[in-house]
Structure 1
């Protein structure tokens, strides 16, 4: 059984992600989709929101509101289970209390899904630099592949996939992951290296590395490309636009802490700014 996790916040992009996840049943036999909703637990401040003291918003009113929210979410999740009822897949729902990212992370560690499909609105400006979105954090930390969705996406129409890499890591694990995408979507694959002014190399060098990777792992139906751009992130997005790709595939090193603040992540930048679905996998 293929286990797919869909973190769900009842937004439109979350619905897109759920539709995409259940749509994978046309390619994956015996698929189980878990819709996970995390309700943020209220933090008692001892003050009203307008600074009016303890009497402004009594604590019991907050508790009543929270309990009503929990009950409303339970009914909404039940409705999802009833609405997505097909023989080709199974949908179950789960609701937990706590912080969103922590709740999702703990569920991933406990249940070990094969794939995460997650809606994303992206992040920009100060939020992107300092905090990042929950989607971005999941991409950075998840042990399994993550597909981020920003618009309604039909699985059956995903026929062009861009795999962006420097192709210096030729591990069997990465190759097998990419082959699995290729078989699931039966898609034309573009293997692309983005050449930038700050990290320039000749086209011959890049093409030789792509060909060596493809030959070592016996890839077929591959187009090798070198694309020039001012940055790797913009080059990947621009190339995907130019070939009208249906999916961008990338690996990420999942850097955290100070190293992440200093070096950033090309994959997370692409997830934030691409309008297309993005498949990411954290390498070891």
Structure 2
């Protein structure tokens, strides 16, 4: 794990994410790229692209530079290689573009979650990044002084399409020295007899060289509740799952359990793009 991207808007939730990224970077000798997206009014963006030196733009940019420099001096980043990037772009698009341009291995983001109408109509940049990122995205909700992934729950249907992203799951579990709790959630709408579910999981696991793991089948009313309840049962440090990255009407009608978890889980959630 060489590069960790941490977007920041200087909020407390962004700081929670940066503190966790610092712990991971320190343990793995990784570099942190600290990114702030400076979204400007439409006319400002046009002026910037034409090369005009607008005092208003420079004022905001200088304020951000000052805040980033102060942030880079905090004690918990000492001894870690940290670079700063200010991007004049919409937050979601900029995060994805910077992650590709800098060949990052991992994105760590803060999120306060949302519920009800706010969740439906406003959405969040974190959700959009979870949906689109080609690299794993770790979402942090709360202050986590001692981040650990010793109990790592990975929920899946263990179908063939999960095999490729699962290689990243396994690699991260090895880095974190985690015990992988592999769990299939059985629901009334998608019920599988135990012997069928066990067979699917056994066939999937046989293709990977796993040692520190356990396999579980958990029954619940729906997938999201099942994951959250199982995570509580095993006192998980981290919840992981894959996302299809659906957009548009497909996303609206099919929903995304990964994005729901990002909104509703209190524990850290990590997502892997299928």
TM-score, length-normalised on structure 1? 0.86
Distance 1:64 1:20, change over 3 A: same
Task: State the partner residue of 2:36.
Answer: 37
Corresponding residue to 2:251 among 249, 260, 263: 260
RMSD (CA atoms): 2.1
Task: State the partner residue of 2:71.
Answer: 80
Task: Give the count of matched residue pairs.
Answer: 264
Which of 264-273 and 19-28 deviates more?
19-28
Displacement of 1:266:
0.9
Task: State the partner residue of 2:166.
Answer: 175
Distance 1:17 1:38, change over 3 A: same
Distance 1:157 1:115, change over 3 A: closer
Task: State the partner residue of 1:110.
Answer: 101
Which of 200-209 and 120-129 deviates more?
120-129
Displacement of 1:151:
1.1
Task: State the partner residue of 1:149.
Answer: 140
Does 2:155 align with 1:164? yes
Corresponding residue to 1:94 among 74, 85, 88: 85
SS of residue matched to 1:98: coil
User: Hey, what's the Cα distance between the residues in 2 that align with 1:149 and 1:282?
Assistant: 18
SS of residue matched to 1:280: strand
Structure 1, unmatched stretches of 5+, are: 45-62
Task: State the partner residue of 1:71.
Answer: 62
Work out which of the two has the higher radius of gyration on C-alpha atoms and give 1 or 2. Answer: 1
Distance 1:128 1:155, change over 3 A: same
User: Hey, what's the Cα distance between the residues in 2 that align with 1:74 and 1:269?
Assistant: 34
Deviations 1:209-237 (A, max 9, x none): 12222222121121111111111011111
Which of 91-100 and 102-111 deviates more?
102-111
TM-score, length-normalised on structure 2? 0.89
Displacement of 1:65:
6.6
Structure 2, unmatched stretches of 5+, are: 44-53
Task: State the partner residue of 2:175.
Answer: 184
Which of 228-237 and 19-28 deviates more?
19-28
Task: State the partner residue of 1:6.
Answer: 6
Written as runs of structure 1 = structure 2, the 5 A alignment for 1:193-212 is: 193-212=184-203
Does 2:232 align with 1:232? no
